[in-house]
Amino acid sequence: MTVADDAAAAFRKEYGSEPTGLWAAPGRVNLIGEHTDYNEGFVLPFALPMRTIAAAAPGGEGWSACSSLAQDPVSFGVAEAGAPGAVDGWGGYVAGVVWALRDAGYTVPPARIAIASDVPLGSGLSSSHALECAVLTALADLGGLEIAIEERPKLVQRSENVYVGAPTGIMDQSASLRCTADHALFLDCRTYAVEQIPFDLSAAGLTILIINSNAPHHHSDGEYGARRKSCEEAARILGVPALRDVPADGLDAALARLDDPVMRRRVRHVVTEDQRVLDTVELLKSGRIREIGPLLTASHASMRDDFEITVDQVDVAVQAALDAGAYGARMTGGGFGGCVVALIDTDRASEVTKSVDAAYAERGFTPATAWVAVASAGATKL
Ligand code: ADP
Ligand code: MG
């Protein structure tokens, strides 16, 4: 059974009829460009083969949803869809999308929805956005809503920021909605301009191994806030709108104007990371995929030493992957745990996984979990 079959079967079981259609939206991972988003810089995510499917049909009073990954089905009407936070738990991600669409003036059809997914929940691969993007795509089609592709990520961002109350940026929804197979999505977080960058891993015999460090949950909200504040303060001192405006060849001059050594390290990470994204894009455009490896590894060193957002588990996973022949590896995501991405020859996946497992066992860490991925399609009707 595929995930799509699961969603259709769940629909039949819950509502006793056939869905009108199936809509899919993937999880995502960021290849490079970390903590650059709120500095108005660059990111380069790609969509994962793991995705969330919404089987849906119009009808009913308001909106109903069930999920194979959640205990309880939810249903809500216009009142709850009008009040951010009124539906909590997993249903909030569905109600949030209905709210965001209605708040933007769209007439959202009442609908029944069944969800199935193979995006791991809470692992930093953005299952929440996969869910919201699948629901948004389904409701837009069911209602015949003409919503430009550029507008869709902003609607999902409002759903997650305002209705659910999670302070996320624009990358995850943009990736889930706008990525295309065998491409990474180069996203300018200032202008929201996107460009599809060739990233055909399979044709090159390559894979991205995603390693979930399974590091114990770290309450990193304060750390995130502190990093952000430091970057904003530095931009103010340097007299630029955002750190994105400090060019790589102006870095030394900028650093010389900052007294605080911690702030200098934060700035160095952001400025060099933006440049690494640009360099990665150039290499990928000329088909030199393996050569991005050192940029990934340099990104990791910068997050470890300058931005100081890694933990032992991710540092060990990166080193173990490199020891087993990865071309490059780095932590991906906000930090303090989460996943590592490693660029590897596809036929070395089991060696690299074994190397990580052995390094973890030696240190007594909770075992890591690994998935292989290639750049996959964004949200679509099946
Ligand atoms: P991430 O987005 O990194 O996976 P989040 O904590 O942002 O982690 O989102 C996970 C939450 O999203 C889950 O706890 C659940 O409420 C909701 N969710 C995501 N996918 C599904 C799904 N397929 N079915 C039900 N709830 C889901
Ligand atoms: Mg999320």
pLDDT at 352 over 90: yes
pLDDT given for residue 124 in this prediction? 87
Domain hosting 188: range is: 3-199
Q: What is the pLDDT of residues 365-380, one digit of tens each?
A: 999 999 999 999 999 9
Q: What is the pLDDT of residues 281-291, one digit of tens each?
A: 999 999 999 99
Q: What is the pLDDT of residues 241-254, one digit of tens each?
A: 999 999 999 999 99
Q: Ligand 1 test: best mutation among 90, 168, 210, most atoms within 8 Å of CB?
A: 90
CB of 67 shorter than 6 A to ligand 1: yes
pLDDT given for residue 218 in this prediction? 75
Q: What is the pLDDT of residues 109-150, one digit of tens each?
A: 999 999 999 999 988 899 999 999 999 999 999 999 999 999
pLDDT given for residue 170 in this prediction? 93
Whether residue 112 is found in the same domain as residue 219: no
CB of 168 shorter than 6 A to ligand 1: no
Is 279 noted as a catalytic residue in this protein? no
Contact call for residues 28 and 48 (beta carbons, < 8 A): yes
Whether residue 182 is found in the same domain as residue 214: no
Q: How far apart are CA 224 and CA 235, in angstroms?
A: 17
pLDDT at 13 over 80: yes
Between the CA of 130 and the centroid of ligand 1 the distance, in Å, is: 8
List the CATH number of the domain containing 284.
3.30.70.890
Split at pLDDT 50, 70, 90, the class of 220 is: confident
Between the CA of 259 and the centroid of ligand 2 the distance, in Å, is: 36
> In ligand 1, which atom is closest to the CA atom of 70?
25
pLDDT at 6 over 90: yes
List the CATH number of the domain containing 150.
3.30.230.10
Q: What is the mean pLDDT of residues 60-78?
A: 93
Of 79-83, 142-146, 176-180, 322-326, least confident by mean pLDDT is 79-83
CB of 30 shorter than 6 A to ligand 1: no
Residue nearest to atom 7 of ligand 1 (CA): 128
Split at pLDDT 50, 70, 90, the class of 42 is: very high
164, 199, 234 — which closes off a domain? 199
Rounded (5°) CA angle 106-8-124:
70
pLDDT given for residue 122 in this prediction? 87
pLDDT given for residue 222 in this prediction? 87
Q: What is the pLDDT of residues 141-198, one digit of tens each?
A: 999 999 999 999 999 999 999 999 988 889 999 999 999 999 999 999 999 999 999 9
Q: Ligand 1 test: best mutation among 52, 88, 131, 336, most atoms within 8 Å of CB?
A: 131
Mean pLDDT of the chain: 96
% of the chain beyond a pLDDT of 70: 100
pLDDT given for residue 66 in this prediction? 97
Q: Which of 6, 37, 118, 172 is catalytic?
A: 172
Place of tokens 């849906």: 56
Q: How far apart are CA 90 and CA 93, in angstroms?
A: 6
Whether residue 185 is found in the same domain as residue 249: no
pLDDT at 260 over 80: yes
Q: What is the mean pLDDT of residues 93-117?
A: 98
pTM of the model: 0.96
CB of 9 shorter than 6 A to ligand 1: no
Cα dihedral 247→249→252→256 (10° resolution): -50
Sign, Cα dihedral of 165, 170, 175, 178: positive
The identity of residue 218, as a single letter, is H
182, 199, 216 — which closes off a domain? 199
Q: Which residues pair with 114 in a beta bridge?
A: 55, 66
Q: Which ligand is nearest to the CA of 122?
A: 1
pLDDT given for residue 26 in this prediction? 98
Whether residue 26 is found in the same domain as residue 172: yes
Whether residue 212 is found in the same domain as residue 118: no
Residue nearest to atom 12 of ligand 1 (CA): 128
Q: Ligand 1 test: best mutation among 128, 163, 168, 336, most atoms within 8 Å of CB?
A: 128
Q: Which ligand is nearest to the CA of 168?
A: 2
pLDDT at 107 over 90: yes
Is 380 within a domain?
no
> In ligand 1, which atom is closest to the CA atom of 172?
2
pLDDT given for residue 185 in this prediction? 98
169, 199, 229 — which closes off a domain? 199
CB of 71 shorter than 6 A to ligand 1: no
Q: What is the mean pLDDT of residues 318-338?
A: 96
Q: How far apart are CA 308 and CA 262, in angstroms?
A: 10
